[in-house]
C-alpha cells in the first residue's frame, strides 16, 4: 500500500469514527433505551457505508420528531408468541428497526428446530431498508425473504386514488463468509 492509499484509508476510518460519535451523541439525547440506541447506530452505520441515501441517516430527523411527538414508543413492552413455525411479535409501537432485530434474535434461537419460519410484526414503525435484515437472517445459512406493508401511496395510470403501496421486498442468501446475494 502506498502513502496515498494509506492516507485515504485513514481518512475513511476517521470519517466513520466521527460519524459514529456524532450519531451516538444525537441518539443519547433522544433515546434513553441503550438497546434501541445500539440497534439504530448499527443500522445507520451500515446504511451509510452502503450509501443507501433513501433509508439512511436522512431519516433520523423524522424518527426524532416522531419520538418527540410520542408516536414512537422508546420504552416498549414487546410480546412474542410462537404458533408452530410462525413468530408473532407485538412491538408496542416501537421502532421497526428494533422490532426487526428482536425478531431476528428470536429466529436465530429457533432456526435449527424448524424448516421454515415466518414472522409477523404488528404495531411497529418504519424499519428502514429491508436488505439490512434479510442478510442478517441469511447469515443463519438460509434463504431470507423480508417484506413490510405500507399505506397506499401511488395511483396506477388512469386512477385518481392511490391504491398501490411501495412496500419493500428483500431476498438474501449467504454466498460465503460475510458475502451475501442481496436483492
Contacts of residue 20, Cβ cutoff 8 Å, sequence gap at least 6: 41, 45
C-beta separation of 137 from 146 below 8 A: yes
C-beta separation of 117 from 111 below 8 A: yes
Residue 9 has pLDDT above 60, yes or no: no
Name which residue leads in pLDDT, 167 or 48. 48
Q: Which tens digit of pLDDT belongs to each residue from 127-143? A: 989 999 999 999 999 99
Radius of gyration of the chain (CA): 18
The cell numbers describing 27, all together, are: 441518539
Residue 55 has pLDDT above 80, yes or no: yes
C-beta separation of 167 from 148 below 8 A: yes
In this prediction, residues 50-69 reach a mean pLDDT of: 92
Q: Which tens digit of pLDDT belongs to each residue from 64-107? A: 999 999 999 999 999 999 999 999 999 999 999 999 999 999 99
C-beta separation of 145 from 181 below 8 A: no
Residue 130 DSSP symbol: T
Element (H, E) at 164: none
Element (H, E) at 20: helix 3-30
Amino acid at each position: 500500500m502506498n502513502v496515498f492509499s494509506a492516507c485515504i484509508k485513514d481518512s475513511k476510518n476517521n470519517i466513520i469514527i466521527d460519524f459514529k460519535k456524532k450519531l451516538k451523541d444525537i441518539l443519547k439525547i433522544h433515546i434513553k433505551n441503550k438497546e434501541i440506541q445500539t440497534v439504530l447506530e448499527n443500522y445507520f452505520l451500515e446504511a451509510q457505508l452502503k450509501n443507501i441515501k433513501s433509508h439512511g441517516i436522512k431519516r433520523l430527523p423524522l424518527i426524532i420528531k416522531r419520538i418527540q411527538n410520542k408516536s414512537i414508543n422508546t420504552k416498549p413492552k414487546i410480546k412474542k408468541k410462537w404458533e408452530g413455525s410462525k413468530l408473532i411479535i407485538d412491538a408496542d409501537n416501537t421502532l421497526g428497526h428494533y422490532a426487526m432485530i428482536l425478531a431476528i434474535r428470536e429466529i436465530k434461537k429457533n432456526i435449527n428446530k424448524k424448516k421454515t419460519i415466518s414472522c409477523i410484526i404488528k404495531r411497529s414503525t418504519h424499519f428502514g431498508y429491508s436488505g439490512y435484515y434479510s442478510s442478517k437472517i441469511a447469515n443463519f445459512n438460509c434463504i431470507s425473504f423480508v417484506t413490510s406493508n405500507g399505506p397506499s401511496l401511488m395511483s396506477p395510470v388512469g386512477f385518481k386514488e392511490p391504491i398501490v403501496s411501495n412496500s419493500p421486498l428483500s431476498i438474501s442468501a449467504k454466498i460465503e463468509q460475510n458475502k451475501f446475494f442481496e436483492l
